[in-house]
Amino acid sequence: MTAVSSPVSEAFRPAIHYACKNTWLNDPNGLIFHDGTYHLYYQNNPFGNIWGNMSWGHATSTDLLNWIEQPVAIACDESEDIFSGSIVWDQYNTSGFGGQHTAPLVAIYTSLFKKDSPHYGRQAQSLAWSTDGGYSWTKYHENPVLDRKSANFRDPKVFRYSGPRGSYWVMVAVEAHDHTVVLYRSDDLKTWEYLSSFGPANATGGVWECPDLFPLPLDGNEDNIKWVLTVNLHPGGPNGGSAGQYFVGHFDGVTFTAASTVTDGLQDPARMDEYLWLDWGRDYYAAVSFNNVPDGRRLMIGWMNNWQYGNEIPTSPWRSPMSLVREVSLVSSNGQPRLSQRPVWEDPGSDTGTVSYTGLDVDGFHPVEGGAAVQLIEATFVPGSAEEFGLVIRGNGAEGTKIGIRPADGRLAVDRTMSGNTDFHETFPSIDSAPLQAPGGTYDLRIFVDHCSVEIFAQNGQVTMTELIFPDPESISVSVYASEGTATVSSLKLTTLP
Ligand code: FRU
């Protein structure tokens, strides 16, 4: 085997995910497709690799896979940190920030006011604009534009609403400690009028952060549009720490009404499985969607980390990757509208680096060929007598990450207790699980493995689990297994990714 030439701390740098060159990132911000380019801004510490000095970093891509790091877009100063928010293309220059022939991009972000500011102690919404396609930004001199005199009012997602009540800007933001999403409207992005509130509802075990609200056709039927409200919360996720939940319902231009609320008010721990989760893993947070993606596609990306241990993951000089970009759609599942997620991924279109198996009967552990540090694993299992079956990835005999299905319990579990370096934080080594049903009798898993992560899309993306792992760079073996009985791997394909 060839020696690892990169320094150990760099061994975890992702190959198919975005991470900064040598700084810290958290939430994705200001996601927008504009002039043929996808813009990914994000919470960034330009001066270090732990959280602090919050500014908007920036990366661009034309294919959502390869990202180019750009200079910091909106920087913190003595009076404010630049917390999360969004960007709109102000096509008709409603804000007046554009020129006669230039439609500006307008960023709506949360100002966290510092000691030097007359607004010290508050979080309020502010504007910045760009007339060069999102590369340089000017802060509005009359910031903030929306101030509730609150210390926890943040994370505005703004989009253009057009419906029976007219066409205007809508903002969804949170009163984080009240577990409430607040909605506002504006004609010019500068003056905002209160519309309504949503929550508390379902999971309320932590602060509510980074909301989003968007329409999707159910089962592809454009005559049956539903609205999806997503809300991230920390802590209080289904497997501990940070996670995102969603509600499906109706938005009439003023009020969002959920059809899927299980509890109104205080979280009922016994009902966590009934709440709708964007991802059941430990490392998919602050997920929001892009504005202005062509063809009505709804694309989301999340921060692939968890506030429980985010500052301590063993990477350097960078810290924290983003998830893959996911296209979300709404499908009927047992008669209920549920999100289905599919990573935006171009099939390399050749079988180079691919190993395929069909009809493997498994009893115990069975190593397979084709393991790699960065790969896509597609597996279909038919249960037999086994209590549990699945795969062990990024293995070397001693360490490995176990992805297992227990059909009688109806659960998918990821066991990362033996996944490699786990001792940097007491909450990191864990066995995390999600409910998983297979009405058709077979279980489909699509698993994207990278140097420090695994993203699992089960049953056509209806259940997803995203987890960080820090294995030895040389741990690349893959096994399939069945315990206490047999199972059949009806197909297995391992594709090495560049
Ligand atoms: C979510 C969050 C947001 C806030 C930002 C600060 O991860 O706490 O609510 O705007 O991070 O970096």
pLDDT of residue 351: 61
7 — pLDDT class (breaks 50, 70, 90): low
* pLDDT for residue 348: 58
Which percentage of the chain shows pLDDT scores above 70?
Answer: 97
Lowest mean per-residue pLDDT among 53-57, 155-159, 259-263, 449-453: 259-263
157 CB near ligand 1 (under 6 Å): no
State in Å: Cα 38 to ligand 1 middle: 22
The stretch 329-347 carries a mean pLDDT of: 91
Q: How confident is the model at residue 61 (pLDDT cuts 50, 70, 90)?
A: very high
Atom of ligand 1 nearest to the CA of 210: 9
> Using a 6 Å cutoff on CB, does residue 209 contact ligand 1?
yes
Model pLDDT, residue 480: 98
To test the pocket of ligand 1, the residue of 41, 113, 126, 155 to mutate (highest count of ligand atoms within 8 Å of its CB) is 155
Tell how far the Cα of 27 is from the centroid of ligand 1, in angstroms: 6
pLDDT for 481 beyond 80: yes
Active site residue 116: no
Average pLDDT over residues 292-314: 97
Complete domains list, the chain, with CATH: 7-343 (2.115.10.20), 353-496 (2.60.120.560)
- Above pLDDT 90, what percent of the chain? 92
The stretch 320-329 carries a mean pLDDT of 98
Cβ(38)–Cβ(62) under 8 Å? yes
* Backbone CA torsion sign across 275, 280, 282, 287: negative
Residue 406 has pLDDT above 90, yes or no: yes
- Mean pLDDT for 285-293 is 98
Report the residue among 208, 210, 305 best suited for mutation to probe ligand 1: largest number of ligand atoms under 8 A from its CB: 210
Ligand 1 centroid distance, CA of 422 (Å):
25
Instruction: Return the ligand 1 atom nearest residue 85 CA.
Output: 10
pLDDT at 491 over 90: yes
C-alpha to C-alpha distance for 112 and 77, rounded to whole angstroms: 11
> What's the average model confidence in pLDDT over 140-160?
98
Confidence of residue 2 (pLDDT cuts 50, 70, 90): very low
280 lines ligand 1 (CB under 6 A): no
Cα separation, 54 vs 233, whole angstroms = 19
157 CA distance to ligand 1 middle (Å): 13
Distance 97 CA to ligand 1 centre (A): 27
Beta-strand (E) ranges in 176-325? 180-186, 193-198, 207-218, 221-234, 243-251, 256-258, 285-289, 298-303
Q: How many CB atoms lie within 10 A of CB 351?
A: 10
Question: pTM score, two decimals?
Answer: 0.96
Query: Which atom belonging to ligand 1 lies closest to the Cα atom of 176?
Result: 9
110 CB less than 6 Å from ligand 1?
yes
Q: What digits encode the pLDDT tens for the residues 12-53? A: 999 999 999 999 999 999 999 999 999 999 999 999 999 999
- Give the closest residue to 151 by CA, choosing from 182, 174, 171, 183: 174
